[in-house]
């Protein structure tokens, strides 16, 4: 997607922009009252019929020595994201209504965004849905429900479908979603949707050019083994840029981390279908094992990823894995204006330590070494490519440190630093902006809480 000069667009103040300004001021003005209640009050119980809550996040980001083609993209930004949620749990009989408004903006960016929709999305409806559910199905042995409308969605480990956490904007879908959950938390989920196209300055919408549907079954019957299997289908018309018609089949085996025990995770996925007029055949593999210490309140893990790349740009096949609507921050590096790595044409090991020395503080330190899976394919997200393969595959290493401090339930402070040790690929590939290592720093403040519960 081409870059957009946001400076000229900001001069146009529309009614929706003025509403967003009023909403932000009202929410921030309510922080004091909501915060005082949130310090001592427990979360509103299910008996509450109406719950109104909000969240406001402000984050500053700074990047040195860009790595993208011709140094495209901003090297600094001040990002704002405001959310307001209204949950009417029993609007008409057992039918509930849920509405979420979100406003995502930026300031101080020195260059246009490479993909503006990942950063800016002025006041819009992120979720508007009707929900019908029951905790007493099949003789009270199961619970389930359906929801219709616009919604966000997390599926499994969030590698292929996710409600974005760090990104300033959020994926959404128009359609239907249903679930059935047994007493042991084994769950069957299914959905039929049209992905919502995020427009930075206009109302978001979906259309019949893209249809996304699938199902997932997770089983939690065994102590040492949890299992998940899924099937996903994305159909895009020939009028779209990518023209994807992909079937993704995958499975995940894992053990939930627990103090004093060894845990593990194995996820594998296979994609088949068509991308534009090319046969699509791609694979993804994630391996991880970890150990959580009892007294240290810490977990250390080692992991490995392989997401296939396109072997030959001249043949009639396309083997690059497509992460669909998944999240990547939790596995690779901070995103925002940074995000050097995607779950596509990449492979390499890593090590991670997560510790909580005191309950309000969480510390993460992680390091990864990464290569291109195929030297002749694109380094996704950078715009850099060498179809000859002469630039090699070594992207380099990445070191990250992050600290989260939550002194109150309504307040979260987070700071993260990332250092990209650029590999030999950056020295040789055409269009490289240089070989100096990149440093990324971000500091964010998030406030939120329940405004009304009755």
Tens of pLDDT, residue by residue over 49-90, are 899 999 999 999 999 999 999 889 999 999 999 999 999 988
120 in a domain, yes or no? Answer: yes
143 in a domain, yes or no? Answer: no
9's tokens: 């667009």
| Residue 25 confidence (pLDDT) | 46
Domain harbouring 305, CATH code: 2.40.160.40
Distance CA 253, CA 287 (A): 10
Q: Is residue 138 pLDDT above 90, yes or no?
A: no
Other Cβ atoms within 10 Å of 442 Cβ, number: 23
CB 168 within 8 A of CB 79: yes
Distance CA 445, CA 412 (A): 6
| Residue 4 confidence (pLDDT) | 33
370 in a domain, yes or no? Answer: yes
CB 141 within 8 A of CB 181: no
Please tell me what DSSP assigns to residue 361.
E
Structure confidence by residue, pLDDT tens digits, 269-292: 999 999 988 999 999 999 999 999
Instruction: Residue 302: name the closest of 242, 349, 358 by CA.
Output: 349
Q: Which comes out higher in pLDDT, residue 148 or 27?
A: 148
Q: Is residue 370 pLDDT above 90, yes or no?
A: yes
| Span 119-142, average pLDDT | 91
317 in a domain, yes or no? Answer: yes
Distance CA 403, CA 190 (A): 36
Other Cβ atoms within 10 Å of 302 Cβ, number: 13
The distance from CA 342 to its chain's CA centroid, rounded to whole angstroms, is 11
251 in a domain, yes or no? Answer: yes
| In the chain, % of residues over pLDDT 90 | 80
Go through the chain and tell me how many residues it has: 454
Q: Is residue 261 pLDDT above 50, yes or no?
A: yes
Tell me the average pLDDT of the chain.
90
Looking at the structure of the chain, the number of domains it has is 1
Question: According to the 3-state scheme, what is the secondary structure of 185-219?
Answer: CCEEEEEEEEECECCCCCCCECCCCEEEEEEEEEE
Beta bridge partners of 379: 384
Question: According to the 3-state scheme, what is the secondary structure of 80-122?
Answer: EEEEEEEEEEEEECCEEEEEEEEEEEEECCCCCECCHHHCCEE
| Residue 295 confidence (pLDDT) | 85
Structure confidence by residue, pLDDT tens digits, 2-52: 333 333 333 344 556 655 544 444 444 443 333 333 332 334 445 688 999
157 in a domain, yes or no? Answer: no
CB 269 within 8 A of CB 252: no
187 in a domain, yes or no? Answer: no
Distance CA 291, CA 283 (A): 28
The pTM score is 0.89
| Span 318-334, average pLDDT | 97
304 in a domain, yes or no? Answer: yes
Please give the residue range of the domain that contains residue 398: 6-86+104-128+198-214+222-453
Instruction: Residue 101: name the closest of 86, 89, 116 by CA.
Output: 86
């Amino acid at each position: 997607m081409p870059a957009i000069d946001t400076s000229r667009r900001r001069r146009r103040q529309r009614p929706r922009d003025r509403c967003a300004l009023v909403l932000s001021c009202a929410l921030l003005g309510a922080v004091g009252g909501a915060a005082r209640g949130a310090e001592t009050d427990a979360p509103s119980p299910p008996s509450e019929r109406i719950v109104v809550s909000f969240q406001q996040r402000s984050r500053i980001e700074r990047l040195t020595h860009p790595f993208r083609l011709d140094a495209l993209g901003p090297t600094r930004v001040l990002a704002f994201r405001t959310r307001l949620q209204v949950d009417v749990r029993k609007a008409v009989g057992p039918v509930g209504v849920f509405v979420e408004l979100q406003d995502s903006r930026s300031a101080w960016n020195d260059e246009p965004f490479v993909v503006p929709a990942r950063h800016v999305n002025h006041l819009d409806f992120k979720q508007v849905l009707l929900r019908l559910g029951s905790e007493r199905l099949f003789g009270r042995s199961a619970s389930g429900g359906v929801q219709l409308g616009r919604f966000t969605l997390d599926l499994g480990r969030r590698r292929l479908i996710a409600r974005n956490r760090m990104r300033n904007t959020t994926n959404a879908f128009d359609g239907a979603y249903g679930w059935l959950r047994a007493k042991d938390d084994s769950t069957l989920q299914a959905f039929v949707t049209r992905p919502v196209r995020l427009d930075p300055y206009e109302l978001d919408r979906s259309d019949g050019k893209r249809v996304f549907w699938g199902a997932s079954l997770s089983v939690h019957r065994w102590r040492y083994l949890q299992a998940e299997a899924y099937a996903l289908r994305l159909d895009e018309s020939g009028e779209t840029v990518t023209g994807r018609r992909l079937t993704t089949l995958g499975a995940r085996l894992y053990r939930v981390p627990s103090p004093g025990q060894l845990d593990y995770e194995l996820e594998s996925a296979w994609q088949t279908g068509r991308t534009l007029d090319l046969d699509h055949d791609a694979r993804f593999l994630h391996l991880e094992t970890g150990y959580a210490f009892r007294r240290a309140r810490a977990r250390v893990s080692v992991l490995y990823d392989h997401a296939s790349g396109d072997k030959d740009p001249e043949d009639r096949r396309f083997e690059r894995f497509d992460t669909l609507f998944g999240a990547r921050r939790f596995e690779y590096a901070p995103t925002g204006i940074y995000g050097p790595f995607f779950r596509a044409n990449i492979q390499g090991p890593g090590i991670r330590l997560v510790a909580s020395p005191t309950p309000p503080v969480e510390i993460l330190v992680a390091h990864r070494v990464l290569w291109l899976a195929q030297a002749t394919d694109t380094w996704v997200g950078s715009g850099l490519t060498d179809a000859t393969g002469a630039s090699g595959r070594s992207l380099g290493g990445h070191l990250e440190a992050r600290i989260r401090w939550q002194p109150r339930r309504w307040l979260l402070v987070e700071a993260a630093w990332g250092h990209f040790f650029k590999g030999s690929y950056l020295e040789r590939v055409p269009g490289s902006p240089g070989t100096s290592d990149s440093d990324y720093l971000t500091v964010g403040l998030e406030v939120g809480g329940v405004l009304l519960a009755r």
